[in-house]
């Protein structure tokens, strides 16, 4: 039987916090896709309701899946996967800022949040905290 593991060290709490935020993001995408897309500054075309399934399926599914695995199994390698995912999310946004002329306040705040969400589990998974 799988038991819920409460973090016991500061490093585990940091990584666990990133996993909780990831699950919350995923649940928001799953339960309120229109609001989530509006926050992300995206909109769906009225004649394409399947676009909401992308938010619910592709985006929410991955966030919830990796976040729950990190919370339930609490293993350094899973936290490394979580941190690496967030790191490449931040990297992709930086590439967009440079190549798409996307230097906006929204993107700068998003990069900062994504970098923090990447750093917390990576620091723990690599044994630095």
Q: What is the pLDDT of residue 13?
A: 96
Q: What is the DSSP letter of 9?
A: S
Nearest to 126 by CA among 88, 74, 83: 83
Gap between the Cα atoms of 56 and 129, Å rounded: 34
Closest Cα to residue 5, out of 79, 80, 97? 79
Q: How far is CA 22 from CA 1, 6, 43, 85, 106, in A?
A: 24, 17, 22, 11, 19
Q: Quick one: pLDDT at residue 1?
A: 64
| Sole residue written with tokens 């917390």 | 120
Task: Give residue-wise pLDDT tens across range 77-103.
Answer: 999 999 999 999 999 999 999 999 989
- The residues spanned by each domain of the chain are 10-125
């Amino acid at each position: 039987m799988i038991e819920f593991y409460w973090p016991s060290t500061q490093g585990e709490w940091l990584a666990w916090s990133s996993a909780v935020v990831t699950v919350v993001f995923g649940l928001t995408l799953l339960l309120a896709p229109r609001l989530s897309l509006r926050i992300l500054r995206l909109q769906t075309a009225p004649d394409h309701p399947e676009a909401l399934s992308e938010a619910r399926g592709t985006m929410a599914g991955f966030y919830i899946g990796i976040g729950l695995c990190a919370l339930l199994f609490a293993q350094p390698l899973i936290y490394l996967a979580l941190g690496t995912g967030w790191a490449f999310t931040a990297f992709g946004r930086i590439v967009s800022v440079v190549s798409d002329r996307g230097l906006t306040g929204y993107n700068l705040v998003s990069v900062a949040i994504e970098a923090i969400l990447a750093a917390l589990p990576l620091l723990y998974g690599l044994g630095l905290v």
